[in-house]
Structure 1
Amino acid sequence: MGSPSANHVALVAFLVCLLPHCGSAKRTGYDVVSVAGSGNRLSARLKLVGGTAQYGPDVKKLSLSASLETDSRLHVRITDADHSRWEVPQVVIPRTALQDVLLDPTATPDNAAALPSSRTLSSASSDLVLTIHTSPFRFTVSRRSTGDVLFDTSANLVFKDRYLEVTSALPASRSSLYGLGEQTKQTFRLRHNDTFTLWNEDLGRSDQLDLNLYGSHPFYMDVRTPAGAAHAVLLLNSNGMDIHYAGDSITYKAIGGLLDFYFFAGPSPLAVVDQYTQLIGRPAPMPYWSFGYHQCRYGYKNVADLEGVVAGYAKAKIPLEAMWTDIDYMDGYQDFTLDPVNYPAKLLRPFVDRLHSNGQRYVVILDPEIKRNATPNEDIFLKWNGTTLVGKVWPGEVYFPDFLNPRGADYWGQKISEFRRTIPVDGLWCDMNEPANFLPMEPLNELDHPPYSINSNGSHHHINTWTVPVSSEHYNGVTEYDAHNLFGFLEAKATHAGLLKDTARRPFVLSRSTFVGSGRYAAHWTGDNDARWDELRNSINTILSFGIFGIPMIGSDICGFTGNSTQELCSRWIQLGAFYPFMRGHSEKKTIRREFFLWESTTRSARKSFATRYRLLPYMYTLMYEAHTTGAPILRPLFFSYPHDANTYGVNRQFLLGAGVLVSPVMEPGATTVDAYFPAGRWYSLYDYSLAVATPKGKRVTLPALADVANVHVAGGSILPMQQAALTTSSARQSEFRLLVALTENGTASGELFLDDGESPEMSGARSMWTLVRFSCAKYRKGITMRSNVVHNSYAPSRKQVIDKVVFMGLQSPAPPKVYVNGVQVKAAGIRDQKNGALTVSGLSLVIGENFQIQIVMSH
C-alpha cells in the first residue's frame, strides 16, 4: 500500500483525540463560573471544560454547596445543577439540607477568568477552612491553626450519570488512615496501594482477605505526625464504589449518587468519633444482659439439644447469658414459624420460660425474606418489571420485604409481635440482609449493567451476583441500584422499632449488613469466620474499625464459625473473646461441637476469662453509656489514648477496653511469650495489682503467655468500678461493688460508674431512672484523697447498693498508712497493705449515689 494521504493522517489524529486522556492540550474537568458566600455558607456553579467518552457523557453543569455546619464539621456537596439525583434519604441519616447561597448577579457566568483564583469559607470559631479554586476547579480543606492541608482534590473531577471520580492528595509520610469497610484486613492501619470496594455482599466467608463483605462505610480517620492530630472524611453515598488508597492519594469511584462530603476536625480521635456520631446518630444503648456470654450453633437438632447445652454450661460453672437458635427452629426455614417436630411451641415455650426464670435469655435468627404466597399482601415487597420480585433463599422461592416502604416496616413489626406471643424472644438476629439471593440474576436491563464495574468480590463480577437485581424497585420508584447498601440498615431499623413497640424495653438487634449510622439500631458481628489463627488475629482489626464507624457493640464468632477448631485455638480465642463487646460462640453444623464445657482446656479458659469479664461488667456498661452519649468505642486502638505516640499507630495485636484496660492476648500457636507495647505511664496487672511496667516514653515488653487468660493491665490514672463474677449478669449485678484505683506517679486517677436498670429504652433520658458517679483521686502533702461526686442520682436510691472494697495500686509507704473514710479512721483490720504496693481498704459500706471521701495518710 502507498503512503497515507495528509487527510488520512488528520482523520486518524482526530479519532485518537476522541479517546480518553488525549494529549496535554485538552484539559478535562470543570471551571467555576460563579460563586457566592454568606455567613457560614458558600455556593458555586461549575461548567464542564472537557470530558471523556469513557463511562458515558459528562454532566455539563454542576452545583457546589458548602457549609460550616458546626465549629468542627464542614459539609461540601457537589451535584448536577439541572437535574435531581439520588442521595441518602433523610429516613436513613436525618440531617440539615444544604441550601445554596444566592449567586452574585454581577458574576460573569461564562467567563471564569473574571473570578478570583480562589474563594474561601471559614469561621473564627472553626479550625476548618474550605478553599475553592476556580480555574481549573478543585477544592482544599485545611486547618486554620496549623495550615495542614487535610483534603486536596485534583483538577480532573469526573461527574457522569453513573460514574463519579474524585482524587485527593495525602502526605504519605505523615498520614495514617483507618476505616473504610467492611473488609477483613491483616492490619488495622490501612496499607498503601489497597482498594476497598463498598458493595454489601453475602460473600459466604469473611475469612477471605480484602474483599467487600456485608457492610459499606465510606469513612476514614486520618492521624498525622508529628502532633498526632486526627480528622475524618465521610462520603455520604450509598451507591457501589471503589476507593483506592495509594498512600499519597485517595481516589473515589462511585457508580451513582452525588459527591456529598463531610469533614470532621477532631483533633483528637475521640473528638472525631464524637463529631461523626453527632451527624450519623449515637450508638443505641444495649441492654445490660447483652454483655454476657451468648451461645449459638447452626445445627442444634431440637429443644432437647438446647436443654443439654444449657445444662452443660451450668454443670461446668461457665457463665451463660443467652441461648441462640439459627434457622433450625423454623418450619421449612420460614421466618416467624416453628418446626412442629423439633421445635414445637409446647416444648420451646417452657424452655424459654425456664431460661427467663434463671435470669437467662433467648435470641433467634430472622432472614429478610418471606416464602412466596405466604402472605396475601404483595404490595410491601420489592418489585421488578411491575410485579413482585421472586428470589430464592433457604425457604425456596421468596419475596423480599421493602423496608423503605413504611407499610413494609409496619408489616415486619407486626410479624415480630405475633411471633413473640408464642415465643417471647429477648432479641433478634438479622442475617442474610445484604440481601442474599441464591437465584442467579443475569443483567436484566441497562441499569443492571453499569458502565463502570466495581471490583466486587475481587473479580469485578456482576453486582447482581448473590443478591437481588439492581433494577428491582423499592417504594416510590427507588431502585435497588441506589438503595442496595441500605437494605440491612433499614431491616435493622424496622426490627429495632418492632421490638421496642412490642416489649417497651431496650431492643437487642444483631445485624450482618450495615451502613453509615447502623449503630443507632443494631450490634454487629464479623460474619462467617473460619477456625484459624489468622482469623483470630484479624478479628481485632474489624472490631476496631467498627468502633470508629459508630458501631461499638461488635464481636467475632469465638473459635470460628466454619472449620474444626483445635483446643489450643479455641482456648486462646476464648481469652480474646472475653473482651469483645459482643461475646458469642457460634459454629457451623458441619464442624465438630465446640461448646466450651466439652474440653478441659476450654473449660478452664472460659471459667477464668469470663470471670474477669463479669467482674468488669460495671466498667464495660459504663463504657456503653459513654458510647451512647459521645460515640466513643468500647474497644479502642491504643492511639485513641496516646495519639502523640506514633509507635501506637500500627499496633493491631493489642487493644484498649475504654481508656483504662490494656489487653495483650496470645495470637500464635505454641506461644510461650507475648510481645506487647506499653505507652508512657504506669501499668498494673489486673490479676495481682502489681506495678508491671513504668515507662516515661513507651516501650516493648515481653510478657509470659498465661495459660488460661490474656494479659490484662490497668493504666495508671484509671479508676475501675467492678463487681463479683457470677454465672449470669443478673446475679453479678446483685453483688457489692469494689473500686480499683490505679495511681499515676503523681497520685492522680479518675473514673466513672453509670447505673440504670439495664433495659429501659432510654439510657439517660429525662424519662428514665439512672445514676452517674464520678470518682477522682489527687495527691496532697500527707498522702492522697479519693472523692466520689454524684452527678445524677435517680436510680441508685432504690437499689441501696454499696461499695465494700477499694484497692489503691501504686502506693509507696515505708509503714502501713492511716485510712479515713468521711473523716472516720478505718480500723487496722480493714486495711491490707500488699507486698506489691497495693493497699486494700475493705469492710466498707459506701452507698452508691452518695458522695464520700477516702483519705490515705502516708507514714514517713
Structure 2
Amino acid sequence: MAPTTAARTRAAFLLPIFLLAVVAWPGAAAAAAAQAGGYRVVSVARAGGVLSARLQLAGGGARAELGPDVQSLSLTASLETDSRLHVRITDADHQRWEVPQDIIPRNPPHHFSLAASTTNTSPRSRVLSAATSDLTFTLHTSPFFRFTVSRRSSGDVLFDTSPHLVFKDKYLELTTALPGATASLYGLGEHTKRTFRLQRNDTFTLWNADIAASNLDLNLYGSHPFYLDVRSGAGAGASHGVLLLNSNGMDIEYGGSYLTYKVIGGVLDFYFFAGQTPLDVVDQYTQLIGRPAPMPYWSFGFHQCRYGYKNLADLEGVVAGYAKARIPLEVMWTDIDYMDAFKDFTLDPVNFPAGPMRRFVDRLHQNGQKYVVILDPGINVNETYGTFIRGMQQDVFLKWNNSNYLGKVWPGYVYFPDFLNPRAATFWAKEISLFRRTLPVDGLWIDMNEISNFIDPPTLNTIDDPPYRINNSGVHRPLNNKTVPASAVHYGGVREYDAHNLYGFLEARATHGALIADTGRRPFVLSRSTFVGSGRYTAHWTGDNAATWDDLRYSINTMLSFGLFGIPMVGADICGFSGNTTEELCSRWIQLGAFYPFSRDHSAIGTIRRELYLWETVARSARKALGLRYRLLPYIYTLMHEAHTTGAPMARPLFFSYPKDVNTYGVDRQFLLGRGVLVSPVLKPGATAVDAYFPAGRWFNLFDYSLTVASVTGKRVTLPAPVDTVNVHVAGGNILPMQRPAVTTSRSRQNVFHLVVALGEDGEADGELFLDDGESPEMGGEHGKWALVRFTCGTGPGGGVTVKSHVVHDSYGPSRKLVVGKVVFLGLRSPATKGELAVFVNGVKAANSTTGRAAALGYRRGGGVAQVTGLSLPIGKEFELKVAML
C-alpha cells in the first residue's frame, strides 16, 4: 500500500533547507528575449515554504496583435510534498479565472511549513529545495525572468523555461527546453494518435469537442494538459510528470527539443511530480487530482450495445443470442433509441414501453445481468415535458444574453443544465431518481457533454472568437463551432470561455453523486467528455471510432493515455462504431477488446450488426478471449483496487514494469494488464503471426502454460496467432489469482480460485488478491468489508517450491468460504528421474507420487509445470503449500 499524502508530507520536511545557485542565461538568448518581450524580476520574498516574486514587463512586449501585455505578474513556488512542486504565475493586480477548488481541491501553499529553512540571496537566482525532496526550483532573476526545475540527485534539468514569457488577457505563452535525444513524452490528450509516445513537430489542441475519434490528431472529447517524461541515457527510466492546471483552450506544440504552451486564458499553474518511476509519477499525480473511483465488480464483465436497437424484442433477442452461443454477457445497453422522441428520462411508449421494459430489466437482474442506458445533457424545450418544467422552475439552465441558451441536439431545441449551479446537481439527481422508479437501471452513460450542439452560435465578440485562434477541429475554427457560445454565462458569472472544458467533469460528478444517493451502491458512470480529475467519478470510452484496422491499433494508444490521466476504466468500441466491420476485423478486435479494462461492443445505426455471436469465427474468438478475461477477473479486480489506492493504470505500457529497458519506450502494439500480464494482439488483416517484444525474464503462455521466452535481455519474438487466438503471457515473478469462468461475473465469483505461480529466474514470485462484495460505495477503507491477501513463493535448494499466503486484512465474511482449489506452478526445475514428488499443506503431507501423477499432484516433465489439485484452502485463512522432492 502506498503511504498517505500526510505521511509523505511529514517525511518531506523533517530537514528542509533553501539552497543557493547562481545560473546565468546566455547573453544571446537574453538579447533575443528583449526583442520578443519577457519580464524582469523586481522583487523576491520568502514566507514559510513559499518563494514568491514580482515580475515586471520588460520593453514593449510581444505579439501586439493579440492584445496588450499584463504589466505586472506574481509568481509563487512551493514544495507542497516531498514529491510535488507547485509553480503559479498570474496577474499581480487583477484576479483571473482558475480551476475552482471544489473541482480539484488543492492545499494552499502555506499549509506546508518549512520552518527550519534558511534563504540566501544572489543577484542572479534564488533556489527552493528541501533535503527530502528530489525537486529543485531555481528562479533566474537576471537578465530576464525564467525558471528551471531540476532533479537534485542527478542534476538532470526537467523543465527549463525560456525568457520569452508572454502574458496577456487572452493569450499566455511559455516555452520549456527539452533534451530531445533522451526525453520520451506521453500524455497531452485527448487525441487519437498513431503512436503512444508523442512525436515531435506535433500540436496538441485542448478544447473539448464532438469530433469523431476516427479522426487523427484533432482535439476530441477531453482535455488533459498532463505529460509523463521518461528519460533514457545514464539514468534510464527516471520519470517525472508535469501538469498545467488550466481549463481554458490551448495549443501545446511539441518540437522534440522544446514544448510551448499557448493558452487563451486563466493562469500558468504548473505542478511537477518527481517520480522517479512511472508508477510513482501517476501515484503522485492522482494524489493531487483525486484517486480513480472504484468500479463495481459487474462492470468488468462484457457489455453489449448498439445505436439502432429497434425495440424491446430486439434487446431480448440479443440477450438470447449470447446465451445460446455461450458467450459471456454481463450488461445490456441501450442508446438513445429507448427514449420518447430522444428526451432524457423517458421511454418510447411503443417500442420500449415502461411495463415490459421493467420486466425485462427484472429478468436481467434475476440472471445476474445488468442494464445501462444513455443520457444527453440537452433538455428538450417542451412545455408538456416534466423534466423541462422542473428545470425551469428551479432555474438550472445555462444563460446567454440574459436568457437560457437555446441549443439543438437529438430531441430538437434544448436547454443545457448548468452544472456549476448547485441547484443543477440537485435537479439532475431528482430526475435520475424519478426515472429509476420506472426503470431500475444499474448505471448511466453520459454522452454529448462537450457540450455538443448541432448549430453554430453566432460570434459576437472576442470571447467567442479571441485574438489567438487555437487549432480547433484542425482548421482553427471558432470556439463556438458545434458547441455552446463561449460567451454563455454559468452560475456565479463564470464564462463558458473559461469553464467549457469542465462540463463533462461536472456532469459526471453530478451523475455519480445521484447514483450513490439513489442506490446506496457503487456507481457506474461512463462519460465521453473528461477533464483533469474526472477519474474520481467516471469511466471513459474512446468515443466514435470506426470499423478499421487503424482504429483497432490506435485504441491501444488512447487506452494507455487515459491510464496516465487517472482514468483507468477505459476501452474502445469493440468491432468499431461507424462503418461496416468485417468478420476478420471483429474477430481480432474482440481478442484485443477482451482485455480492455472496459470491454464493450458498440456500433452505429445504419451499419451491419456485429454482436459477437453472428459469425462463428468471431464467436470462437470471443469464447476463448473472454473466457480468459473471466478467469482473470480476480486479478483484474485487484488491479482496480490498486488503481483506486495508488492511481496505477490497469492497462499499462511495458515501460511501467521495465523502465530501464529503453526498447520498451516505443512499444504501443502490446500492453500490460497490471505489472505482468502481456497482451500481444493481431492488428493487421490477414496476419497469422505477431511480432512481439518481450523484456528480459521468463514469459509463459496463459492458455497452455508453455514457456515462450526466457532471456537475460529483451528480445523480439514472432508468435503464432491462429485466427481464433490472442497471445497473452505472464511474466515470471508473478502470482495470478484466477477463477473458473462463467457467463456472468456473479456466477464466476462463486467458483473456486486457482493460483498460477509463474516463477522468475530467481525461483520467486508474488501477487495479491483483493475481495469485497463488488458493490459497496467504499472499496477498502476503514469502514469497508474487504479482504486483502498477499501470496509469495520461493524455491529451496533441492528444487522444491513453497507458496504462502499472508492475510493483510480481512473483514469480508465470504473470504472464509471461498477457497483455493488448485495451484499451478510454472517454471519449475525438473525433478530427478527417480525422485519422489510430495505435497505438504501447512506442514502435513497431502499426496506423493513416483510417476509425477497423483490425485493431488500432476507434473509435466520437461515443461516445468506442476499442478496441485483437490485443495480446499480458505482465502481468509493463511496457508503454506509446499511441493518437495524427497
Instruction: Give TM class, smaller chain.
Output: over 0.9
1:400 aligns with 2:416: yes
Tell me the residue number matched to 1:800.
Answer: 817
More divergent stretch after superposition (132-141 vs 47-56)? 47-56
Aligned mate of 1:585, from 590, 598, 601: 601
**Partner amino acid for 2:37?**
T
More divergent stretch after superposition (681-690 vs 216-225)? 681-690
- Write the distance in 1 (CA, Å) between the matches of 2:847 and 2:659: 44
- Write the distance in 1 (CA, Å) between the matches of 2:424 and 2:461: 26
Tell me the residue number matched to 1:187.
Answer: 195
Deviations 1:149-183 (A, max 9, x none): 00000001000000000000000000000000100
Deviation at 1:98, TM superposition (A): 3.5
Deviation at 1:706, TM superposition (A): 2.8
- Write the distance in 2 (CA, Å) between the matches of 1:347 and 1:25: 73
Deviations 1:655-712 (A, max 9, x none): 0010120010011101021000000000011111111100101100010013212101
> Secondary structure of the equivalent of 2:56?
strand
- Write the distance in 1 (CA, Å) between the matches of 2:627 and 2:112: 60
Deviation at 1:796, TM superposition (A): 4.1
- Write the distance in 1 (CA, Å) between the matches of 2:526 and 2:609: 23
Aligned mate of 1:422, from 413, 438, 441: 438
Change (3 A) 1:796 1:839: farther
**Partner amino acid for 1:263?**
F
Tell me the residue number matched to 1:106.
Answer: none
- Would the aligned equivalents of 2:487 and 2:497 in 1 still touch at CA under 8 Å? yes
**Partner amino acid for 1:261?**
F
- Write the distance in 1 (CA, Å) between the matches of 2:403 and 2:331: 41
- Would the aligned equivalents of 2:816 and 2:877 in 1 still touch at CA under 8 Å? no
1:263-278 pair list within 5 angstroms:
263-278=272-287
1:171 aligns with 2:197: no
Change (3 A) 1:99 1:848: closer
> Secondary structure of the equivalent of 1:407?
helix
> Secondary structure of the equivalent of 1:271?
helix
- Write the distance in 2 (CA, Å) between the matches of 1:469 and 1:670: 47
- Write the distance in 1 (CA, Å) between the matches of 2:556 and 2:303: 19
Aligned mate of 1:821, from 829, 841, 850: 841
- Would the aligned equivalents of 1:816 and 1:833 in 2 still touch at CA under 8 Å? no
- Write the distance in 2 (CA, Å) between the matches of 1:244 and 1:731: 50
- Would the aligned equivalents of 2:840 and 2:847 in 1 still touch at CA under 8 Å? no
- Write the distance in 2 (CA, Å) between the matches of 1:383 and 1:26: 43
- Write the distance in 1 (CA, Å) between the matches of 2:274 and 2:780: 27
- Write the distance in 2 (CA, Å) between the matches of 1:27 and 1:303: 65
- Write the distance in 1 (CA, Å) between the matches of 2:320 and 2:415: 39
Aligned mate of 1:847, from 874, 877, 884: 874
Tell me the residue number matched to 1:214.
Answer: 221
- Write the distance in 2 (CA, Å) between the matches of 1:80 and 1:413: 38
Tell me the residue number matched to 2:118.
Answer: none
Unaligned runs of 5+ in 2: 1-29, 114-120, 383-387, 849-854
1:784 aligns with 2:786: no
Deviation at 1:27, TM superposition (A): 5.5
Deviation at 1:440, TM superposition (A): 1.9
- Write the distance in 2 (CA, Å) between the matches of 1:569 and 1:552: 25
- Would the aligned equivalents of 2:34 and 2:58 in 1 still touch at CA under 8 Å? no
> Secondary structure of the equivalent of 1:348?
helix
Tell me the residue number matched to 1:87.
Answer: 98
Deviation at 1:818, TM superposition (A): 2.0
- Write the distance in 2 (CA, Å) between the matches of 1:810 and 1:689: 9
- Write the distance in 2 (CA, Å) between the matches of 1:393 and 1:645: 49
> Secondary structure of the equivalent of 1:340?
coil
Tell me the residue number matched to 2:50.
Answer: 41
Deviation at 1:23, TM superposition (A): 8.1
Deviations 1:240-276 (A, max 9, x none): 0000000000000000000000000000000000000
Deviations 1:202-241 (A, max 9, x none): 01x2111000000000000000012210000000000000
1:20-419 pair list within 5 angstroms:
26=35, 28-50=37-59, 51-52=61-62, 53-98=64-109, 116-135=123-142, 136-203=144-211, 205-226=212-233, 227=235, 228-373=237-382, 374-378=388-392, 379-419=395-435
- Write the distance in 1 (CA, Å) between the matches of 2:275 and 2:884: 41
- Would the aligned equivalents of 2:123 and 2:141 in 1 still touch at CA under 8 Å? yes
Deviation at 1:91, TM superposition (A): 1.6
- Would the aligned equivalents of 1:42 and 1:101 in 2 still touch at CA under 8 Å? no
1:486-501 pair list within 5 angstroms:
486-501=502-517
- Would the aligned equivalents of 2:193 and 2:558 in 1 still touch at CA under 8 Å? yes
- Would the aligned equivalents of 2:429 and 2:510 in 1 still touch at CA under 8 Å? yes
Change (3 A) 1:27 1:322: closer
Tell me the residue number matched to 1:697.
Answer: 713
Change (3 A) 1:626 1:315: same
- Write the distance in 2 (CA, Å) between the matches of 1:153 and 1:634: 34
Runs of 4+ off more than 3 Å: 21-27, 98-102, 796-799
- Would the aligned equivalents of 1:37 and 1:101 in 2 still touch at CA under 8 Å? no
> Secondary structure of the equivalent of 1:528?
coil
> Secondary structure of the equivalent of 1:547?
helix
- Would the aligned equivalents of 1:437 and 1:466 in 2 still touch at CA under 8 Å? yes
Aligned mate of 2:691, from 667, 675, 686: 675
Tell me the residue number matched to 1:707.
Answer: 723
- Write the distance in 2 (CA, Å) between the matches of 1:164 and 1:578: 43
**TM-score normalized by the length of structure 1:** 0.95
Change (3 A) 1:404 1:816: farther
Tell me the residue number matched to 2:484.
Answer: 468
Identity of aligned residues (%): 68
**TM-score normalized by the length of structure 2:** 0.92
Tell me the residue number matched to 1:458.
Answer: 474
> Secondary structure of the equivalent of 1:82?
coil
Deviation at 1:115, TM superposition (A): 5.9
- Write the distance in 2 (CA, Å) between the matches of 1:412 and 1:608: 41
> Secondary structure of the equivalent of 1:79?
strand
1:637 aligns with 2:657: no
- Write the distance in 1 (CA, Å) between the matches of 2:675 and 2:354: 46
Deviation at 1:816, TM superposition (A): 4.8
Change (3 A) 1:101 1:857: closer
**Partner amino acid for 1:516?**
V
More divergent stretch after superposition (339-348 vs 238-247)? 339-348
- Write the distance in 1 (CA, Å) between the matches of 2:663 and 2:814: 46
Change (3 A) 1:727 1:23: closer
Deviation at 1:641, TM superposition (A): 0.3
> Secondary structure of the equivalent of 1:844?
coil
Deviation at 1:377, TM superposition (A): 4.0
Tell me the residue number matched to 1:834.
Answer: 860
**Partner amino acid for 1:817?**
L
1:574 aligns with 2:580: no
**Partner amino acid for 1:590?**
G
- Write the distance in 1 (CA, Å) between the matches of 2:499 and 2:32: 38
**Partner amino acid for 2:842?**
N
Tell me the residue number matched to 2:523.
Answer: 507
- Write the distance in 1 (CA, Å) between the matches of 2:518 and 2:720: 50
**Partner amino acid for 1:803?**
V
- Would the aligned equivalents of 1:38 and 1:101 in 2 still touch at CA under 8 Å? no
Deviations 1:134-157 (A, max 9, x none): 120000000000000000000010
Tell me the residue number matched to 1:108.
Answer: none
> Secondary structure of the equivalent of 1:608?
helix
1:856 aligns with 2:865: no
**Partner amino acid for 2:293?**
A
1:431-446 pair list within 5 angstroms:
431-446=447-462
> Secondary structure of the equivalent of 2:757?
strand
Aligned mate of 1:772, from 788, 802, 812: 788
- Would the aligned equivalents of 2:33 and 2:163 in 1 still touch at CA under 8 Å? no
Tell me the residue number matched to 1:622.
Answer: 638
